[in-house]
Structure 1
Amino acid sequence: MKDKFTLGMFYTIGLILLSFGISMMILADLGAGPWDALYVALADQIGLTVGTWILITGFILIVVNAVLMRKMPDFYAVITIFIMGFLIDFWLLFIFAELKAEVLMRSFMLGGGILIIAAGVSLYLQANFAKNPIDGLMVAVHFRTGLSLSRSKTVLEVAVLVVALLIGGPIGVGTVIVAFGIGPLIGLFFIPAEKMKARMLLQPAVMQK
């Protein structure tokens, strides 16, 4: 029971941080992450909310990941995309709906958002439960190609960046930083998070290669 509570805590806190970091980047308006720029572009061009497009895209990726991994679709991932979609709409449409920030504050929001995203991903992945389909895709590419997790993440981020650019997403300096830097940042946060989990569960940490 204690172990389940600990893993649930990592999962919940990680998703809250991840959604908050993404929202900060979008609100900073200095370039959202590639996937988030894609969601914003789809919301602007077609309609619906950013959170709704997270759900739609997530369902598609669940199927793609299943094909790449040659496994049954990870329908538990629906839990993650539902929570993420809800939280991001919550931050954007309710908590920070009237937020207006100057350039300096927006720069801090951008930098802080990127770090919070990396920390959030590193924490919630410790639960090994209901991965965000985007992170599931990162793992699937890692599995199929042999690339490291950080390199797999970078390849995917750059590919989605191009798509987001083509359909008019909010591309900027933040997008470039996330595309090339989020993979290494996740790697930087992942091992400390893994050690923290191991201490809390009283088991040896398995170091990521």
Structure 2
Amino acid sequence: MKNGIIIGLFYIVGLIFLTFGISMMILANLGAGPWDAFFVGLSLNLGLTVGSWIFINGILLILLNAYLLKKTPDFLALVTMFLIGSFIDVWLEVIFAELAITSLLVRIGMLVSGIISIAVGVSFYLQSNFARNPIDNLMMAFHFRTGKSLAFSKTAIEVMIMLIAFIIGGPIGFGTILVAFGIGPLIQSFYIPVKKFKERVCHQPVMES
């Protein structure tokens, strides 16, 4: 019971960090992450909201991941897609709704902090093994099928999606390049320490009163 609560906290905290990072990148207006640019590009070209495309692509990725991992489709992952969309709306439409940034230096700081926050968030919520974001589960599936490191797997997928987003007119910029080449190594550097922290917390003996 205790471990279940702790792992649930890792999941929620991870999504909060992740969506905060995505929101910071969007607000910095220096280029969205490859997947976010891809969703925006789909919305601009084919209609529907960005959130709708996140959900639609979530279903498709769940099926693809099941094939690559040779497992039953994890439709619970749609819960994660819903939460990500909801948290991003809270950051952008409520908490930072009135935020207006003009300084380039501040925007660069937001971009860098956003990328770091995304890497921390992914490292945290991957520990839960529950309802993973199909986008990040694709990284794990690629890692499983190729034997490549998490860093290589994430970077390869991000570069491919960045190229597609560019072709369909998504908001590609300096920030997109940083995410495409930097997020994989960052996740790799945070993942092991966070995993060790989770194991230490979960196996910590309960103190009797």
Is the shorter-chain TM-score for this pair beyond 0.5, marking a shared fold?
A: yes
Tell me if the contact between 1:19 and 1:117 (Cα under 8 Å) persists in the aligned partners: yes
1:49/1:27 Cα in 2 relative to 1: closer, same or farther (>3 Å)? farther
Aligned residue-pair number: 203
Unpaired runs of 5+ residues, structure 2, are 205-209
Q: Aligned Cα RMSD in Å?
A: 1.3
Tell me if the contact between 1:21 and 1:116 (Cα under 8 Å) persists in the aligned partners: yes
Q: Distance in 2 between matches of 1:51 and 1:91?
A: 14
Amino acid at match of 1:159: M
Does 2:98 correspond to 1:104? no
Q: Which position in structure 1 is the counterpart of 2:147?
A: 146
Select the structure of larger CA radius of gyration: 2
1:97/1:49 Cα in 2 relative to 1: closer, same or farther (>3 Å)? farther
Unpaired runs of 5+ residues, structure 1, are 204-209
Q: Which position in structure 2 is the counterpart of 1:90?
A: 90
Q: 1:89, CA displacement in angstroms?
A: 2.4
1:42/1:94 Cα in 2 relative to 1: closer, same or farther (>3 Å)? farther
SS at structure 1 position matched to 2:84 = helix
Q: Which position in structure 2 is the counterpart of 1:2?
A: 2
For normalisation by structure 2, the TM-score amounts to 0.92
Q: Distance in 2 between matches of 1:48 and 1:112?
A: 30
For residues 1-209 of structure 1, what are the structure 2 equivalents within 5 Å? 1-102=1-102, 103-202=104-203
For normalisation by structure 1, the TM-score amounts to 0.92
SS at structure 2 position matched to 1:73 = coil
Q: 1:152, CA displacement in angstroms?
A: 0.6
Q: Distance in 1 between matches of 2:135 and 2:186?
A: 16
1:49/1:94 Cα in 2 relative to 1: closer, same or farther (>3 Å)? farther
Tell me if the contact between 1:141 and 1:152 (Cα under 8 Å) persists in the aligned partners: yes
Tell me if the contact between 1:79 and 1:130 (Cα under 8 Å) persists in the aligned partners: yes
Q: Distance in 2 between matches of 1:174 and 1:62?
A: 27
Amino acid at match of 2:111: L
SS at structure 1 position matched to 2:35 = helix
